[in-house]
Amino acid sequence: MKSFRKELWFQTPTRRAFVNITPQVDEALRESGIREGLILVNAMHISASVFINDDEAGLHHDFEVFLEKLAPHAPISQYQHNETGEDNADAHIKRQIMGREVVVAVTEGKMDFGPWEQIFYGEFDGRRRKRVLVKIIGE
Amino acid sequence: MKSFRKELWFQTPTRRAFVNITPQVDEALRESGIREGLILVNAMHISASVFINDDEAGLHHDFEVFLEKLAPHAPISQYQHNETGEDNADAHIKRQIMGREVVVAVTEGKMDFGPWEQIFYGEFDGRRRKRVLVKIIGE
Amino acid sequence: MKSFRKELWFQTPTRRAFVNITPQVDEALRESGIREGLILVNAMHISASVFINDDEAGLHHDFEVFLEKLAPHAPISQYQHNETGEDNADAHIKRQIMGREVVVAVTEGKMDFGPWEQIFYGEFDGRRRKRVLVKIIGE
């Protein structure tokens, strides 16, 4: 069994953003040389997500509206977590809805995807350097 | 390390449906001959889910009501994604809530499940042929 | 390839609770002797979750408020599932929002975590003995 590890770094200019990271994960897979196995891609921060969905700007707007309605950022005083001096309780909740991680099959050296699957980094408390972990096991 | 891959195909007669796919995943595991490892089961389409919960019709009704309240299908004009000519923005959001994938342990040749765990395909934009990927690694 | 399996048992005194299980998963990893691979940690019951987020009591309160607003426990008659004699339909829905499982990378014998990642057992229908599965594969 082989294993491979790589960190991807992000600093989004806005508090919230969706970034298509499929090319970076593809590159990590090529570097690994692994042909059959599993890829884990996870946010290493608890106010960010990794998820798979469509690379369509309108849908990303719809996700933003949906998440902000479910767990609004303001007023920040509505969350006990923010009494610690933070203002990101909503980001922890939004990340929980969108998920921490995806696991992707590797078949014949490629990510085994349906026609529209793309991997996104979902940032809910940005404007600082944060990481995603790519771990690949297989052979 | 051994690996095994199989696609399951679905065409639900209704827009939304929950289908118990545990027997098909069990059969894939038997075909693989793998005794210890991990199974990844994921929707290959971004308007569908794979998840684990109870095989109880009343609960599936409750999931349907819950999801339709959070992200209603109509009016379709409430979503920017639908300005592309699609009418399935709600399906992308519902899939995100219910999840894309499950990972299941394989122990002594069987799915290592608690007493009530069953795997479901959750369709949110059906009436056409769509796929689920089963990937098993182990030995 | 090596594999390792362990069950963790819980009985929370309250209906709902969040329990930090990072030390128990760490101990399972040490027992396994696995240095590179993947850990799957999943609830074996369908009214409970395993998820990764912050070990901060205020945030756990915020999660509780958020989940109870989305899928209130009472009145129990609002859910068809409860017509079977159960009163836990809300717990099945809450578990679906928070997730069944996490997959964690193992690197150099340790869980490959960002600075604040902690693993939680999320109980939504407690006061009875329930299990979490830890399955580790690698070498």
pLDDT score of C109 = 98
Closest chain B CA to residue A119:
B46
Phi, psi of A78 (to 5 degrees): -75, -10
* Cα B91 from Cα B96, distance rounded (Å): 9
pLDDT score of A106 = 98
Contact present, A36 and A139 (Cβ < 8 Å): yes
Q: Which of residues 100-119 of B touch A (CB under 8 A)?
A: 100-101, 103
- The pLDDT tens digits for B87-111 are 999 999 999 999 999 999 999 999 9
Residues from chain B contacting residue A98 (CB–CB below 8 Å): 96
Pairwise CB contact (< 8 Å): A1 & B1: yes
Closest chain B CA to residue A100:
B99
pLDDT score of A13 = 98
Model's pTM, two decimal places? 0.98
Q: Quick one: what percent of chain A has pLDDT higher than 90?
A: 100
Q: What is the DSSP letter of B96?
A: H
Q: Is C83 on the interface with B (CB under 8 A)?
A: yes
Phi, psi of A108 (to 5 degrees): 50, 40
Q: Quick one: what percent of chain B has pLDDT higher than 90?
A: 100
Nearest chain C CA: its distance from B103 CA (Å): 7
C68: left (phi over 0), alpha (psi -120 to 50) or beta: alpha
Nearest chain A CA: its distance from B105 CA (Å): 14
**Would you give the distance in Å from CA C40 to the centre of its chain?**
11
Burial B43-71 (b: 16+ CB within 10 A, else e): bbbbbbbbbbbbebebbbbbbbebbeebb
Residues from chain B contacting residue A49 (CB–CB below 8 Å): none
Pairwise CB contact (< 8 Å): B105 & C44: no
The SS3 of residue B48 is: strand
* Cα C52 from Cα C45, distance rounded (Å): 18
- The pLDDT tens digits for A22-51 are 999 999 999 999 999 999 999 999 999 999
Partner residue facing A58 (CB), from B45, B83, B93: B83
Place of tokens 């809530």: B97
How many CB atoms lie under 10 A from the CB of residue A17? 18
**Would you give the distance in Å from CA B80 to the centre of its chain?**
25
Instruction: Supply A32's token pair.
Output: 């690994």
* Cα C55 from Cα C116, distance rounded (Å): 8
Average pLDDT for chain A: 98
**Would you give the distance in Å from CA B47 to the centre of its chain?**
10
HEC states along chain A?
CEEEEEEEEECCCCCCEEEECHHHHHHHHHHHCCCCEEEEEEECCCCEEEEEECCCHHHHHHHHHHHHHHCCCCCHHHCHHHHHCCCCHHHHHHHHHHCCEEEEEEECCEECCCCCCEEEEEECCCCCCEEEEEEEEEC
Q: What is the DSSP letter of B82?
A: G
- The pLDDT tens digits for B49-71 are 999 999 999 999 999 999 999 99
How many CB atoms lie under 10 A from the CB of residue B137? 28
Name the pLDDT band for A92 (thresholds 50, 70, 90).
Answer: very high
C33: left (phi over 0), alpha (psi -120 to 50) or beta: left
Q: Which of residues 47-76 of A touch B (CB under 8 A)?
A: 51-54, 56-59, 61-63, 66, 70
pLDDT score of C27 = 98
Q: Quick one: what percent of chain B has pLDDT higher than 70?
A: 100
Q: Is B38 on the interface with A (CB under 8 A)?
A: yes
pLDDT in tens, chain C (139 residues): 999 999 999 999 999 999 999 999 999 999 999 999 999 999 999 999 999 999 999 999 999 999 999 999 999 999 999 999 999 999 999 999 999 999 999 999 999 999 999 999 999 999 999 999 999 999 9
How many CB atoms lie under 10 A from the CB of residue B82? 18
pLDDT score of C57 = 98
pLDDT, mean of residues A103-132: 98
